[in-house]
Structure 1
Amino acid sequence: MINTENNFNSPLYVDTLYQGINSFQWQELFDIVEKKGFSAKRHALFTGQKINQSENRAVLHTALRNLSGSPVLVDDQDIMPAIQSVWRQIEQCCNKFVGITDIIHIGIGGSDFGPRLVCDALWTDDSLTKTPVNVHFLSNIDSADLARTLARAKPQSTRVIIVSKTFTTLETMQNAQSVIKWLTEAKLTKTQISNLLYAVTANTSEALTFGVKDENILPFWDWVGGRFSVWSAVGLPIALKFGFEAFKKFLAGAHAMDQHFLNAPIEQNQPIALALTLFRNQLKRGSKAQAIIPYAQSLNLFPTWLQQLEMESNGKTHGLDQKPVEISSVCIFGSAGTNSQHSYFQMLHQGTQVVPVDFIAVKAPLSDLPCAQEHHRQLIANCLAQSQALAKGFQHPTDQNQSYSGHRPNTLIWLDKLDAYNLGALMALYEHRTFCLGVLYGVNSFDQPGVELGKKLAKPIDQALANPADAELLEVFDDITKSRIQWFNQP
């Protein structure tokens, strides 16, 4: 049984006692894991085997935080020297971004969610020496996002980081072109603009063609999935805002969780426990959703990051064997407590669907205000009370509307404090949970073919929207889409 007394060298504490699983039931779950060939698949993950079968790629985000530097092989080549070279590039950027007021980080999906979350979460860590630079994350192709970003930045003292694995991502490249136009309108020369552009990409040649100088390109590799990429040069804004040492502590926390996941016995393994509790709730209760509730305002973006990680990884209808799967990813939602208590907790407590909950709490207060201890005590009291109420319920003697059924499973995850190290461990914990769930579902957690169809269909629609007088462009669409295009193009 996994609880706060049994963490096997993990930086975190995982308490599953309100899941209502007894020792016999835990053993049944552990047996399922072993029957799925989990140990061999975990070994394959860490040793560079090409477990992303559809794309014939290794999956080695764990190598990105391998601070020990021990060799990690892909196709018989040690990839650690290349990773260490990027670490040196990140540190060099931290040393030369002096006098800069603004950094515009342009990316979307995995190129945005991770670094945005970390930069948002670490602002409360007073142990970090924060640089005065303002980091702006630009992701949405909606021009309102662009306008808000440009209104806050100073073109003469801005650096632009363009993050795209392929360097062809539509939203990212359109935003990049618009930022360059803004810089041009601010009277910067072509040479000046080239000097302030940086790229994080696996497609170096495309970045060079775009106009990024060779020394300003930070690579990452095809064995890094976008939603697992915050540990790579994609995390450059973290280092620029909080310092390279803070970035290394972030990597160190994740590496510590990697070692726990790799070495802890299955009965004491936290990512496995998180995966098994959700898997059991899907099988036994038909759960279709899970709420992730961090009782820390600084982690408000954590559920958003996790949505992509889990649903893009495991939201599949067919498995590795090409056959339909019985279950796959739940719908992930959540926001910071205590705000969430005044939003959807009514449904969590008394709704007809049982939604399992993961509570995340931090032992240390998240500010140094004189009232911080009092606020934090009340925050934690609310967290523990909600967990208890979901599990235990309450039966009113006469009024069913005042009754709570209880038996609503939930887990509590404790962090000693919210710093770079523990945040890295927390994010790695859920990365490994996603991997474990993929093993249980029998799916490939490292491709995302479901996102491609809509992107493919958007191109001819965009062409039709841009050329309203060309009726022939409408002929390829179904009647509903055709009518929508015509409505949009009406004067």
Structure 2
Amino acid sequence: MPSKPSANPIHTAVDVILDTAYQGIDAQAWDGLFAQAHKSGLEQFITDLFAGKHVNASENRAALHSALRNLSKSPVLLDGEDVMPAVSDVWRRIDSLCNQWVGVTDVIHIGIGGSDFGPRLAIEALSHVPGLQSRGMRMHFLSNIDTAELARILQRAQPNSTRVIIVSKSFTTLETTMNAKAVVNWLKDNDCTSGQIAHSLFAVTANIAAAKTFGIEEDNIYPFWDWVGGRYSVWSAVGLPIALQYGFKTFQDFLAGAHAMDLHFRSAPLEENLPVIMALALLYQQQTHDIKSFAAIPYADALDGFPKWLQQLDMESNGKRVGRDGKPVKFSSPVVFGSSGSNAQHSYFQLFHQGTETIPIDFIAVRKPMSDRPEAVAHHRILMSNCLAQAQALAHGKDAKNPNEVYPGKRPSNLLLLPELNAFYLGALLALYENRTVALGALWNINSFDQPGVELGKVLAKPIEQALASGSDAIEAGDSIDDVTAARINYLNS
């Protein structure tokens, strides 16, 4: 690595520290990156994003998820109308619901993708926070259409004291609606009356009419809006499990951390802007080393689900081959993966150190131990030493006479350090990466707010499912099924 990797590798926002010293980017290269960012119009894009402009051009929508955590309640205009009264009303209703649920033993949250990853991550991460009181409900997340997950949840839940939250922006998502119907049938099979079932069902959706048609009472429907992308929606009523499990104050703290990071992203100069600096570091590695993958390694077991959340955020937002102008782009999202350290060291770090591919890494660490066990300080010291040592080894490598013992080094990484892991800093962390993702989209000239690539498989699945259901020869199912898939259907039908 260069002896002077950067004029100032340490950057801070909302008490979160970003250290880019091991990125291998010298001061001159950083100057060039910031010049590129200015030239790309990134500052205007950020302004337009928060101003409610229709930055999601393909769907002619704004991307105002930041309004969902705008605890200042300052006006946020969308086509001339302030959205904050509607957002504030949802906050009021969530707070009220938290005070109403007494005697509930189980909550089944049904959703997939953006309706699942965010609340699932938050519930798991906050369960590790010492001293944070849980309200004692078992929180179950049902996403997969595979009935193994459904069966596992229904074996544990108590039907007479269960509440069901069905989360779908369109309320037409196949996996979600089928799982919801299965849970309703389970309630019926366990002698719950129609009135009990109606009292037990809740919906979070932008399609209120469809939720009513499903049978959910209007008072139990919590809206979010078409200007909220699913993968950016945990800040809406999609995050209802956070409030129900840990109290509305904790949910507010979660929003507050994200809002604080938004204020930084919106107002800080590009040269001091954490999401922008992280975006530019990744862009540099693409331009310089043609990297194809990226790893997020949180040295906190509580954040083991963070890389899964980030996979959807990055790859669904920016996994595109054409830009906002319809022309091919040179760069888009790398493959994202990761898991908690130090477990990851004993899994795939061999590839990081001695593989043929350069893979940038974000090491994410927390200053304070995540338990109040008597061993916590000693264990945490070893955890942190491993985190720092891996980054150093990747950066500098090692020479040896035996080629098998050579570490090439010059493997780039960031260190992201949180003061502690609580609801506030979890919110700040997620918003930091959301803003980094949209900054990267702007730099690549990609629309980070649509996802047309997921639709083709859904369309093709319908005639395939019909052929499987009928048991007929798949060749007769239609032109949309090719010979290979037809043969596979016939295997299954035989």
Question: Same fold per TM (> 0.5)?
Answer: yes
2-side partners of 1:471 and 1:16: how far apart? 55
Shift of 1:474: 2.5
Shift of 1:23: 1.1
Write the letter of the residue equivalent to 1:430. Y
1-side partners of 2:297 and 2:80: how far apart? 42
Determine helix, strand or coil for the equivalent of 1:212. coil
Question: Counterparts of 1:260-299 in structure 2 under 5 Å?
Answer: 260-299=264-303
Select which of 450, 454, 458 maps to 1:451: 454
Match of 2:11 in 1: 6
Q: Is the 8 A contact 1:19 1:411 kept in 2?
A: yes
Select which of 193, 217, 221 maps to 1:213: 217
2-side partners of 1:471 and 1:36: how far apart? 50
Match of 2:98 in 1: 94
Determine helix, strand or coil for the equivalent of 1:137. strand
Question: Counterparts of 1:30-49 in structure 2 under 5 Å?
Answer: 30-49=34-53
Select which of 359, 379, 397 maps to 1:375: 379
1:136-176 deviations in whole A, cap 9, x for unaligned?
Answer: 00000000010111111100000000000000000000000
Match of 1:128 in 2: 132
1:227-252 deviations in whole A, cap 9, x for unaligned?
Answer: 00000000000001111000000000
Write the letter of the residue equivalent to 1:464. A
Give the number of equivalent residue pairs: 488
Q: Give unmatched runs, 5+ long, in structure 2.
A: 1-5
Mean CA deviation greater in 474-483 or 247-256: 474-483
Q: Does 1:197 align with 2:201?
A: yes
Match of 1:463 in 2: 466
Q: Does 1:419 align with 2:414?
A: no
Shift of 1:468: 1.0
Write the letter of the residue equivalent to 2:106. D
Shift of 1:469: 3.3
Q: Does 1:251 align with 2:264?
A: no
Match of 1:341 in 2: 345
Question: Counterparts of 1:478-489 in structure 2 under 5 Å?
Answer: 478-489=482-493
Q: Is the 8 A contact 1:183 1:193 kept in 2?
A: yes
Q: Does 1:116 align with 2:120?
A: yes
2-side partners of 1:241 and 1:461: how far apart? 40
Select which of 435, 439, 443 maps to 1:440: 443
TM-score after normalising by structure 2: 0.97
Match of 2:355 in 1: 351
Determine helix, strand or coil for the equivalent of 2:139. strand
Match of 2:330 in 1: 326
CA separation of 1:3 and 1:173: change in aligned 2, threshold 3 A = farther
Write the letter of the residue equivalent to 1:6. H
2-side partners of 1:358 and 1:316: how far apart? 22
Shift of 1:75: 1.1
Determine helix, strand or coil for the equivalent of 1:54. helix
2-side partners of 1:473 and 1:97: how far apart? 53
Q: Is the 8 A contact 1:11 1:425 kept in 2?
A: no
1-side partners of 2:474 and 2:92: how far apart? 55
Q: Does 1:22 align with 2:26?
A: yes
Determine helix, strand or coil for the equivalent of 1:401. helix
2-side partners of 1:53 and 1:320: how far apart? 8
CA separation of 1:373 and 1:181: change in aligned 2, threshold 3 A = same
Q: Does 1:307 align with 2:307?
A: no
1:12-54 deviations in whole A, cap 9, x for unaligned?
Answer: 1100011111111101000110111111110000010000000
2-side partners of 1:118 and 1:463: how far apart? 38
Select which of 159, 169, 172 maps to 1:165: 169
Determine helix, strand or coil for the equivalent of 1:291. strand
2-side partners of 1:194 and 1:309: how far apart? 34
2-side partners of 1:420 and 1:185: how far apart? 38
- CA RMSD across the alignment: 1.1
2-side partners of 1:354 and 1:6: how far apart? 24
CA separation of 1:150 and 1:25: change in aligned 2, threshold 3 A = same
Shift of 1:219: 0.2
Q: Does 1:62 align with 2:66?
A: yes
Q: Is the 8 A contact 1:52 1:58 kept in 2?
A: yes
Shift of 1:470: 6.3
CA separation of 1:244 and 1:381: change in aligned 2, threshold 3 A = same
Q: Is the 8 A contact 1:4 1:13 kept in 2?
A: no
1-side partners of 2:211 and 2:141: how far apart? 19
CA separation of 1:2 and 1:330: change in aligned 2, threshold 3 A = farther
Q: Give unmatched runs, 5+ long, in structure 1.
A: none
Match of 2:236 in 1: 232
Runs of 4 or more, structure 1, over 6 Å off, are: none
2-side partners of 1:5 and 1:335: how far apart? 25
Shift of 1:11: 2.9
1-side partners of 2:10 and 2:365: how far apart? 16
2-side partners of 1:3 and 1:383: how far apart? 21
TM-score after normalising by structure 1: 0.98
Q: Is the 8 A contact 1:11 1:256 kept in 2?
A: no
1:387-409 deviations in whole A, cap 9, x for unaligned?
Answer: 0000011112x112111111100
Shift of 1:2: 8.4
2-side partners of 1:82 and 1:2: how far apart? 45
Q: Does 1:137 align with 2:167?
A: no
Write the letter of the residue equivalent to 2:203. A
Match of 2:189 in 1: 185
Q: Is the 8 A contact 1:2 1:267 kept in 2?
A: no
1-side partners of 2:278 and 2:120: how far apart? 25
Select which of 35, 52, 56 maps to 2:56: 52
1-side partners of 2:86 and 2:474: how far apart? 52
Shift of 1:263: 1.2
Q: Is the 8 A contact 1:275 1:437 kept in 2?
A: yes
Write the letter of the residue equivalent to 2:454. V
Q: Is the 8 A contact 1:65 1:251 kept in 2?
A: yes
2-side partners of 1:237 and 1:294: how far apart? 23
